[in-house]
C-alpha cells in the first residue's frame, strides 16, 4: 500500500493536458484533411509522424538516452509502428475525409475492447463473465454507432466505417505486440522510432499511389502543426509524466474522457450533429470499456496477492 501514488496538482495538470489535447486530435485531423485543405491523407499523416519521430529522437539524444536499438527492437518497433500509425492512425485519417470527428473518436474508443479480445485469444484462456459481458456491450455500441452509415447505401460511408473498425483492430494489435515484446529503449525513444518508421511507411505509400504533393492552406498547416507539437510531443510527455505522478487507474480515465471531448469539440467548432445514435452507441462503448478496465484491475490485484 505504501507504493501507491498520491494525487498531486502537477499530476492532475498533466492528465488535464492529455484529456484536452488527445481529445482534440480528431478535430485537428478532420480540419487538416477535409476537402480543400490541400493535404492528401498519406502526406498529411506521413509528414506529421515523421516530424514528431525525429523530434522525439533528438530529445532522446539531448537527454542522453540510449538510441541504439537491438535487431529485435528494430523489428518490434517497425512492426508496431506499422500497426499503430499506418493501420491505426492512417485508417482514421482516411475515414475522417467523410466521417465526423466525434463519431470517429467514439468508434476508436473501442480499442480496449479489441485489446481484451486479442489478449484472451492469445492467452487461450476462457474470459470471465464480466469480460464477456463487457465485450458484448462494447460491440453493441460499435454496431449502434455504425448503423446509420452502414445502412445509408453509400459505398464511401460503408468503407469509412470499415476503415475505423480496422483502425481500432490494428491499433490494438500494435499495443498487444509492444506489450508482449518489450524493447530495451525508453518510452520516448521507442515512440520516436515507431513514428519514424510510421512516417517512412506513409511517405512510401503516398509515392506508390502517386498522391499529389501537398499544397496546404494556412488552416491545414495549423492543424498539422498542432498534431505534431501538441498531439505527438506535449500530450505524450504529459501522459508519461501522469503515469509517474498519479495512480494508473486514474490516468486510464483518458479512454472515457477523450471521445466525449472529441464529440463536443466537433459539435462546437465544426457543427457536427450529435444524434441519438451517437449518444446511445457512445454510452454502450464507454460502458464496455469501463467493464474491461475493471477486469484488468482485478487481474492485476490477483497477480499481486502471492507477493
- Residue 228: predicted pLDDT: 95
What does pLDDT average to in each consecutive run of 10 residues of the chain (307 residues)? Answer: 68 93 95 93 96 95 94 95 94 93 91 86 84 89 89 84 94 89 91 95 96 95 96 88 82 85 94 92 90 74 39
Look at residue 204 and tell me if it is in a domain: yes
Q: How far is CA 160 from CA 91, 123, 173, 209, 238, in A?
A: 8, 31, 20, 19, 31
Determine the structural domain holding residue 72 and report its residue range: 40-304
22 found inside a domain: no
Asked if residue 135 belongs to a domain, the reply is: yes
pLDDT for 119: 85
CA–CA separation, 173 vs 179, rounded Å? 10
- Which pTM value belongs to this model? 0.87
CA 227/CA 47 separation, integer angstroms: 11
Here the cell at position 210 is 502517386
Name the grid cell of 136.
458484448
At 306 the pLDDT is 35
Beta strands in the chain (DSSP E): none
Which among 103, 98, 170 is positioned nearest to 141, based on CA atoms? 103
Asked whether residue 201 is domain-assigned, the answer is yes
Task: Give me the pLDDT at residue 300, please.
Answer: 57
Within a domain: residue 273? yes
Q: Is 34 a member of any domain?
A: no
Number of domains in the chain: 1
* Of 55, 28, 25, residue with least CA distance to 237: 55
Position 185 in a domain: yes
Assigned domain for 270 exists: yes
Amino acid at each position: 500500500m505504501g507504493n501507491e501514488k498520491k494525487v498531486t496538482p502537477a499530476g492532475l495538470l498533466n492528465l488535464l493536458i492529455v484529456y484536452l489535447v488527445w481529445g482534440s486530435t480528431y478535430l485537428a485531423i478532420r480540419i487538416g484533411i477535409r476537402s480543400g485543405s490541400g493535404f492528401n491523407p498519406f502526406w498529411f499523416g506521413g509528414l506529421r509522424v515523421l516530424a514528431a519521430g525525429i523530434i522525439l529522437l533528438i530529445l532522446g539524444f539531448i537527454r542522453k538516452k540510449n538510441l541504439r536499438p537491438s535487431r529485435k527492437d528494430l523489428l518490434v518497433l517497425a512492426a508496431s509502428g506499422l500497426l499503430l500509425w499506418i493501420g491505426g492512425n492512417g485508417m482514421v485519417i482516411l475515414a475522417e475525409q467523410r466521417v465526423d470527428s466525434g463519431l470517429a473518436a467514439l468508434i476508436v474508443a473501442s480499442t480496449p475492447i479489441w485489446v481484451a479480445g486479442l489478449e484472451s485469444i492469445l492467452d487461450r484462456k476462457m474470459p470471465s463473465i464480466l469480460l464477456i459481458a463487457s465485450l458484448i456491450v462494447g460491440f453493441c455500441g460499435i454496431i449502434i454507432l455504425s448503423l446509420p452509415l452502414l445502412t445509408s447505401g453509400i459505398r464511401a460511408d460503408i468503407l469509412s466505417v470499415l476503415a475505423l473498425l480496422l483502425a481500432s483492430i490494428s491499433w490494438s494489435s500494435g499495443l498487444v505486440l509492444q506489450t508482449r515484446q518489450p524493447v530495451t529503449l525508453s518510452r520516448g525513444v521507442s515512440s520516436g522510432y515507431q513514428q519514424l518508421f510510421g512516417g517512412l511507411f506513409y511517405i512510401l505509400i503516398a509515392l506508390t499511389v502517386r498522391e499529389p504533393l501537398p499544397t496546404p492552406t494556412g488552416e491545414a498547416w495549423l492543424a498539422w502543426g498542432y498534431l505534431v507539437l501538441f498531439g505527438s510531443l506535449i500530450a505524450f510527455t504529459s501522459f508519461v509524466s501522469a503515469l509517474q505522478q498519479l495512480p494508473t487507474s486514474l490516468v486510464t480515465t483518458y479512454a472515457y474522457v477523450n471521445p466525449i471531448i472529441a464529440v463536443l469539440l466537433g459539435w462546437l467548432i465544426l457543427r457536427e450533429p450529435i444524434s441519438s445514435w451517437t449518444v446511445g452507441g457512445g454510452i454502450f462503448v464507454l460502458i464496455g470499456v469501463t467493464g474491461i478496465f475493471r477486469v484488468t484491475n482485478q487481474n492485476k490485484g490477483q497477480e499481486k496477492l502471492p507477493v
